Chain A
Amino acid sequence: MMEILMRNVEEIGKRDRSLAERVLSFSGDCVDLERAKTGSLTFRFQGRLFHSAYDPAKEAGAQANEILSRKPDWVLLFGLGCGHLAAALVRGGMKNVLCYEPSIGILKGVLSGADLSAVLREIEIFDDVTRFISRVRDIDAFEDILCYSTDPYKAAFPKEAVDFLNRVNNAHITSKVCVQTDIESREVWVNNYFENVERMSCCPPIDVLKGRFKGVPIIIAGAGPSLKKNAHLLKEVKGKAVILAAITAYKPLLSYGVIPDFIIAAEKVDLPEYFTYGEADLSTRLILGEVAHPGMFGREVKEKFVFFNPSHALSTEQARHWGSDYFPAIGGSVTTAALDIAVMMGGGPIIFVGQDLCFGENETHAPGGVYVSQDIKIDRDRGVVSIEEDYVTLKDKAKSSHRLQWLKGLDGRPVASKFDWVTFHQWFEDYMSDLNRRGGPLVLNATEGGAYIEGMEHVTLKDAISTCIKTEFSIDEIIGEAVAGRAEPDIEGLAKSFESMQKGLKEMQRSADSILREIELVKRSVSGNTASPEAMKAAARIKRLEEKLFREAEASAFIWETLTAATCELKTYLRSSEEKAGAVLEDELKATSTSYKRVSEMCGNYAQVVFRAAARLRAAASRSGQEAAAL
């Protein structure tokens, strides 16, 4: 038995050393395997057999056939059992199988008696649902996922099975939404970056505050509905804790007499309605994403800081020229970025308020912000939530509807949520799991309502204040000192980087145009699905040109981000053509041609944008040099 266990564990350890160790060190009750009539293995758990007492392999075969008939790209199993189903799926040609086993007692019992080393080479196994979900998030949003659990697992682990399904569903929707967000936003983000370069040179990167608030409590305020319950308490902590608010929470906090020390914003669109244009604005500081709308960089506030996004090619390439080497972990919302920034600043404890991540009684946000009134209707049967709201800048009521999703609430009962909040929630739980493993600072969730966030300690704000917030300090002094020591951005380095990009983009455009000419040649010499020798030669030339184009793109990786929509369109087309019995060559050529036309256009356009950005930067540097000389 030991030999079998070691063989299995060795195979698991190749992918996940820590799981292998957990299995080996587990000393609790394990299931005992029994022989079915055919000699295959089964076992009893909670008095019930998990596989047929007669022929488990035949049983698994039926299940695998059913699964494979639906042609999923991925099969996600809730429960490994004796591995019969996983083995049948692998035999049936399924390459992508992920398996979550909810009971380590079952897992160790099975691995001790059934040699699954061959199956374990082909599938990925997990015993930690958070890590499993994290893996699910890596699955391409375009791919189809099928979750499957046999009845005994559903009966023995009913809550876990429901949670598993909800979380997989949430994770996959998140991936799809992220792709959608990318499609809608990437080009805007790139444009914003180029627009912001002049102003960014005046904004210190947020990493100048690295470690400056060691052991200082940092309160991160979201604008969830529950903020109305405890926002008033924040007034008494002013000067004893750093208050960092999401831009949506700024005005609601002001209505309770609280001016946050920082406001964080990264929206690609301008949000003038979030500001007061008075004393309050001039008493606070903005932390802005480098791709935030240029209008945000124009707001008059006490001070502005900038942070660089790790998923933007321009930022990762150029951050060093801006004097930054810090890229906050971001989970899609500014409060997720705020958490990582607070950790970077050295804060502790970090306290969340207004981070509900779910619907309130009849609202999505705390009062006092940009929503004059809201009406939320939750239709549980249809799984839809409808929102009708009066937005401060809109004449007519805005209407929207979302697919209803569920999260575990503070009291353990499900709370109604929607995809974006669910995305943030997942990110928080992943981040907290990692932060706690690293021995990071204590994170308290003093949101008095809404979703439970695993890994955070849940307390009332009153308790958090009385136990953690005591000492006064001068935030202005700390920030002043940090900013004074800031290294100036390397404008020359940035300008040169832009010029090199411009050169690369022009080359790419030439290659794309050459590909388009070759495609025209191929088009003329094909009929139906038959290609002439000339067409074959042209296809080989296209391949070489593509390789050249991809090499040239390495100098301007951001260009692929501007082409996200076209890439996704092509990907969708290729998937649908795979499903067709015989994809017509002419259609494929048309799709390829459309994509390269877009590449050519984008490269031509951004070659000019980059050129102008370099010129503006040099001019700005020259102006500030002259001003310095005059002084």
Chain B
Amino acid sequence: MVPHVYLDGIELDFEDRGNRSTIGELIEAVENDLTGARRFVMELWVDGERLPEWRGSTVLKRPLAVYNDFKLKTASMEVVALEGLDLLQEYLRVTRDNVPLCVSELRIGGARADASFSAIFDGLVEIVKTMDALARGGEKYSMDLFKENPALFYNAILRCLEGMRQAREGSDTVMLADLLEYELLPFLEEMEERLFHFNA
């Protein structure tokens, strides 16, 4: 069976040779064609259902042949970049808000310290990933997305993550709380100040 592929409502002539192509290959081929137009695939609908996590490898590895139709919606690079910046600022805000909560739990020996620390840790990882993707995209499409090069902050974040990992492994909650309160929090505030042209 040959699946139908639509791009912004227009059916594409797509050949799935030997029925072996994957969703990832389809997206890659489409985005290659879109490069010149400075557009990106933003949404993926498969057999009438929107896939929210389609950039994840499990979706991208799926074969095309088992589905009937694919609808791809695109957006301009500028829209994608703005959404990425919004997302990054949201990650920063949530992570920054989580720090005092976690510090408070750590200081009093509260039961929620572990959960709130995990949220901060995961938040930092997402911040780095998003910043990196935006920085590379900006470079590729010659867009000035940040006031300062985000790469300048990577080492500091990694040092912070490593310090926190060590404190946590040694169950040193005093050090962990100090790192969060007196190093990470001011650093996150500084990053927000120095990275963005304007706030989302």
Does chain A have a CB within 8 A of B86? no
Residue pair A53, B178 in contact (C-beta under 8 Å):
yes
Which among A48, A50, A54 is the interface contact of B181 at CB below 8 angstroms? Answer: A54
Q: How far is the CB of A93 from chain B (nearest CB, A)?
A: 18
Does chain B have a CB within 8 A of A63? yes
A155 and B171 contact, Cβ closer than 8 Å, known pairs A52-B177, A54-B181, A59-B177:
yes
Does chain A have a CB within 8 A of B175? yes
Interface residues of B in 141-200 (CB under 8 A from A): 170-175, 177-178, 181-182
In the bound complex, residues from chain B placing their C-beta under 8 Å from that of A62 are 104, 107-108
In the bound complex, residues from chain B placing their C-beta under 8 Å from that of A155 are 171-172
Q: How far is the CB of A486 from chain B (nearest CB, A)?
A: 61
Chain A's interface: helix, strand, loop or mixed, by majority?
A: mixed
In the bound complex, residues from chain A placing their C-beta under 8 Å from that of B106 are 151
A63 and B177 contact, Cβ closer than 8 Å, known pairs A48-B172, A54-B182, A151-B171:
no
Q: How far is the CB of A125 from chain B (nearest CB, A)?
A: 21
A53 CA / B170 CA spacing, docked (Å):
16
Q: How far is the CB of B111 from chain A (nearest CB, A)?
A: 12
Residue pair A54, B170 in contact (C-beta under 8 Å):
no
Residue of B nearest to A48 (CB): B172
A32 CA / B83 CA spacing, docked (Å):
53
Chain B's interface: helix, strand, loop or mixed, by majority?
A: helix
A66 and B181 contact, Cβ closer than 8 Å, known pairs A48-B174, A51-B174, A152-B174:
no
A59 and B172 contact, Cβ closer than 8 Å, known pairs A52-B177, A54-B181, A54-B182:
no
Residue of B nearest to A66 (CB): B108
A53 CA / B107 CA spacing, docked (Å):
13
A49 and B177 contact, Cβ closer than 8 Å, known pairs A59-B107, A62-B108, A63-B108:
no
Residue of A nearest to B175 (CB): A49
Residue of A nearest to B182 (CB): A54
Residue pair A48, B104 in contact (C-beta under 8 Å):
no
Residue of A nearest to B172 (CB): A48
Which among A52, A149, A154 is the interface contact of B178 at CB below 8 angstroms? Answer: A52
A352 CA / B177 CA spacing, docked (Å):
52
Does chain B have a CB within 8 A of A150? yes
The contact size tier of chain B is: 10 to 19
In the bound complex, residues from chain A placing their C-beta under 8 Å from that of B170 are 48
Residue pair B108, A52 in contact (C-beta under 8 Å):
no
Residue pair B178, A151 in contact (C-beta under 8 Å):
no
Residue of A nearest to B181 (CB): A54
Q: How far is the CB of A385 from chain B (nearest CB, A)?
A: 27
Chain A 131-166, CB within 8 Å of chain B: the 1/0 string?
000000000000000000111101100000000000
A48 CA / B174 CA spacing, docked (Å):
9
In the bound complex, residues from chain B placing their C-beta under 8 Å from that of A37 are 182
A49 CA / B104 CA spacing, docked (Å):
18
In the bound complex, residues from chain B placing their C-beta under 8 Å from that of A152 are 172-174
Residue pair A50, B104 in contact (C-beta under 8 Å):
no
In the bound complex, residues from chain B placing their C-beta under 8 Å from that of A59 are 107, 174, 177
A119 CA / B109 CA spacing, docked (Å):
23
Residue pair B108, A49 in contact (C-beta under 8 Å):
no
In the bound complex, residues from chain B placing their C-beta under 8 Å from that of A150 are 109, 174
Which among B107, B172, B178 is the interface contact of A63 at CB below 8 angstroms? Answer: B107
In the bound complex, residues from chain B placing their C-beta under 8 Å from that of A52 are 174, 177-178
A358 CA / B104 CA spacing, docked (Å):
41
In the bound complex, residues from chain A placing their C-beta under 8 Å from that of B177 are 52, 59
In the bound complex, residues from chain B placing their C-beta under 8 Å from that of A53 are 174-175, 178
A66 CA / B109 CA spacing, docked (Å):
10
Residue pair B109, A151 in contact (C-beta under 8 Å):
yes
Q: How far is the CB of B178 from chain A (nearest CB, A)?
A: 5
In the bound complex, residues from chain A placing their C-beta under 8 Å from that of B107 are 59, 62-63
In the bound complex, residues from chain A placing their C-beta under 8 Å from that of B175 are 48-49, 53
In the bound complex, residues from chain A placing their C-beta under 8 Å from that of B109 are 149-151, 154
A519 CA / B108 CA spacing, docked (Å):
49
Which among B171, B174, B182 is the interface contact of A49 at CB below 8 angstroms? Answer: B174
Q: How far is the CB of A474 from chain B (nearest CB, A)?
A: 64
In the bound complex, residues from chain A placing their C-beta under 8 Å from that of B110 are 66
Chain A 23-56, CB within 8 Å of chain B: the 1/0 string?
0000000000000010000000000111111100
Q: How far is the CB of B182 from chain A (nearest CB, A)?
A: 5
Q: How far is the CB of A171 from chain B (nearest CB, A)?
A: 22
A151 CA / B167 CA spacing, docked (Å):
13
Q: How far is the CB of B172 from chain A (nearest CB, A)?
A: 6
A62 CA / B104 CA spacing, docked (Å):
7
A152 CA / B104 CA spacing, docked (Å):
16
Q: How far is the CB of B101 from chain A (nearest CB, A)?
A: 12
A149 CA / B172 CA spacing, docked (Å):
14
Q: How far is the CB of A435 from chain B (nearest CB, A)?
A: 39
Q: How far is the CB of A61 from chain B (nearest CB, A)?
A: 9
In the bound complex, residues from chain A placing their C-beta under 8 Å from that of B173 are 151-152
A339 CA / B106 CA spacing, docked (Å):
48
A51 CA / B116 CA spacing, docked (Å):
21
In the bound complex, residues from chain A placing their C-beta under 8 Å from that of B104 are 62
In the complex, which of the residues A51, A52, A63 has the most CB atoms of chain B within 10 Å of its own CB atom? A52
A468 CA / B77 CA spacing, docked (Å):
95
Assuming A49-B172, A155-B172, what are 9 further A-B pairs, CB within 8 angstroms? A51-B174, A53-B174, A53-B175, A54-B178, A54-B182, A59-B107, A62-B108, A66-B110, A151-B109
Q: List 10 A-B contacts (CB under 8 A).
A: A48-B174, A51-B174, A52-B178, A53-B178, A54-B182, A66-B110, A151-B171, A151-B174, A152-B174, A155-B171
Nearest 6 CB-CB pairs, A to B?
Answer: A66-B108, A151-B173, A62-B107, A54-B182, A49-B174, A59-B107
A residues contacting B by CB (< 8 A) are 37, 48-54, 59, 62-63, 66, 149-152, 154-155
